[in-house]
Structures are given as structure tokens and as C-alpha cells.
Amino acid sequence: MPPLPKADHIALFDGHCNLCNASVDFILRRDRRKRIHFASLQSELGKALLKRSGTSDEGLDTVVYFRNGKVYKRSDASLRIAVDMGGIWSVLGRIGLAIPRPVRNAVYRWIARNRLRWFGHRETCRMPTPEERERLLG
């Protein structure tokens, strides 16, 4: 098992999904406090974090967000990431959290089911800049 990072805001994403990778790029550019770190669900670190939290990686089709010792999935994860990005994204995230979870998660699951068909997938990842590399954990 790889050593667990000291970062307390870690988003696990599907490293093969174009939508997920575009989302990571979006967050990297807008998280001015550089608070959020990333690892792919497929990485050894991602698997270790899931195992440690008691979350199965079998058939996982969601972003998982570890924030100050808590684990968030689906729309909760996406919206908590927005809150932690700061600025207008924080406001939009808080508004989104006011929507009932069953409604949010129904929309999230619909997008998750169709994401690879709509946005495609990749076999390789782009090379991160040196600054981005500091925030990519695994």
C-alpha cells in the first residue's frame, strides 16, 4: 500500500474519462488556493484511499472526495469541491447543496451512465505542468 498523503482535500476521478479529466483541468485552473489534490480511481493511491475508507472500487462510477476526514460521493462530492474552490464556485456549490440529494444524485447518475458515450475516454493522460504535478497524487 502506498503511503497516504497529508493533503486533506483529495478528489478521486476516473482517469480514463474525458469528462472527468476535463473537470480536473477546470478545477486546477480555478482553485486559486491550490487546496484540492487529485488521484485517479485506478491508481494504487486511489485504491488504497478507497479501501481505507471502506468504499469498494467495484463498478465505481463517481467522483469521491476526501475532505477533512469525511468521504463524499456523487453530487455531494462535486458540490463540496465547488465550495472548496472558493469565489463564485463556492456560492454555486452551496446553492446546489440546497437541492434535495435524491434529485441531485438522479441527475448525477444519469450523467455518469452516459459520460463515456457522450464525452469519450482516453488511454493516456496529458502531461501536467510542473505546478499541476504537485497536486496530482497518484
- Rg (Cα) of the chain, in Å, rounded? 14
CA atoms within 13 A on the CB side of 48: 12
13 and 40 Cβ atoms separated by less than 8 Å: yes
pLDDT tens, residue by residue, 91-131: 999 999 999 999 999 999 999 888 878 887 766 655 566 67
pLDDT tens, residue by residue, 7-66: 689 999 987 778 888 899 999 999 988 899 998 888 888 888 888 888 776 667 789 999
pLDDT tens, residue by residue, 51-65: 888 877 666 778 999
CB atoms within 10 A of CB 130: 6
Q: Which residue has the cell 482553485?
A: 31
What the block records as the C-alpha cell of 55 is: 468504499
Query: What pLDDT, on a 0 to 100 scale, did the predictor assign at position 10?
Result: 93
The mean predicted confidence, pLDDT, of the chain is 85
Sheet of 64-67: strands edge to edge?
37-40, 9-13, 64-67, 70-73
Query: What pLDDT, on a 0 to 100 scale, did the predictor assign at position 67?
Result: 92
